[in-house]
Amino acid sequence: MKAAVVTSFNQPPHYGDFPDPTPNGPEEMLVEVLAVGLHHLTRGRASGVHYSSTGGFPLVAGVDGVGRDADGKLRYFAQSPGQIGTMADKTVIELDHSIELPSDSDPVTVAGAMNPAMASWLALRCRVPFQRGQKVLILGATGSSGSMAVQIARHLGASQVIAAGRDEQRLAKLPALGATEIVTLKDAQLGGGAVACEVDVVLDFLWGESSVRVMETVLRQRTDRSRPLTWIHVGSMAGEVAAIPGAFLRSANLQIVGSGHGSVSGRDILMELPALVKEIARGTFRIDVKATPLRDVEQVWSEASHTGERIVFTP
């Protein structure tokens, strides 16, 4: 079969031949792959920088996708670390890590939306006792995952969604997706106290020094520091290390947690996916996707991060 084959962590995948996969038992299934999104997690595993990277070359890139099973049904599936990747003509999936989709679902849209949507959906559903009416600040709101977080926070009942990012043109589009305020990360005061002081949850796709600076701003302007604030580390677009002073934790009711594979159990993820798939399939959330032939994977791999679209490969 043809696949996006990874032979080195230092080179992008190339389009080439790979042995056909074979199910190992009744709990696995061979599926025809229809669409696979190019996500940050996909890049991270293929380059060896993500904590779930496994190595063992050659391997197939891709962490999830949409395919058609032997009965002709559409399925969304996510692969565990160590399983064969999804950017190929075919792949083997675990049945209990897949969800049957409505027959009229658009494979490209689902493949492009599920991973970026899952980040904030799991964070707000599994990592914090989020309640309707709470206020959310999103750091890194101009990326695919961040703009999806804006929509999901509003969908789950946030009364205020503050979108913060560097790209002012993309920020300007977020009120149409549900942001109640937008603020550039260049603004050292995050728009002043009215924006920063009373949030209940921060969804942080940045981390690094940027997060420390924003954290200091939020805590300094907070009128009641005993009011709970949950800071959820979802991504590391601005750096893997954040030097958080101990005084931040002592001087405020601040809880810092992470959200991702490991901090959310596989069982909890599987319990949440049907509801999320249902909303994506019915068009609740908007995402810009671009269908691209898998044969162009090597060329597109390095270019995709410079666009606002989510690249979805079609074998």
* Domain covering 2-115+266-314 in this structure, CATH number: 3.90.180.10
Q: What is the pTM of this model?
A: 0.88
Per-residue pLDDT of the chain (315 residues; tens, 9 = 90+): 999 999 988 899 999 999 999 999 999 999 999 999 998 888 888 876 666 656 678 999 999 999 999 999 999 999 887 789 999 999 999 998 899 998 889 999 999 999 999 999 999 999 999 999 999 999 999 988 999 999 999 999 999 999 999 999 999 999 999 999 999 988 766 755 556 789 999 999 999 999 999 999 999 989 899 999 999 999 998 999 999 999 999 999 999 999 988 899 878 888 898 899 989 988 899 998 999 999 999 999 977 555 568 899 999
The Cα–Cα gap between 53 and 50 comes to 5
Alpha carbon distance 92, 3 (integer Å): 13
**Is 205 in a helix, a strand, or coil?**
coil
Contact criterion met (CB below 8 Å) for 233 and 207: yes
Look at the block and give the residue holding tokens 């996707």.
289
Q: Decide: 176 and 151 in contact? Cβ < 8 Å.
A: no
CATH of 128-258, one of 3.40.50.620, 3.20.20.100, 3.30.70.2750, 3.40.50.720: 3.40.50.720
3-state helix, strand, coil in the chain (%, to 5): 30, 25, 40
CB-neighbour burial class of residue 240 (10 A; exposed 0-12, middle 13-18, buried 19+): exposed
| HSE-CB of 192 using CA atoms within 13 angstroms | 1
What DSSP state is assigned to residue 252? Answer: S
Q: What is the pLDDT of residue 211?
A: 94
Q: Report the pLDDT value the prediction gives residue 307, as an integer from 0 to 100.
A: 57
The dihedral built from the CA positions of residue 267, 281, 173 and 161, taken in this order, carries a sign that is negative
Any idea which residue has 């190019």 for tokens?
38
In whole angstroms, how far apart are CA 106 and each of 61, 272, 281? 22, 20, 7
**How many other CB atoms are there within 10 angstroms of residue 124's CB atom?**
25
The structural domains of the chain, with segments of one domain joined by +, span 2-115+266-314, 128-258
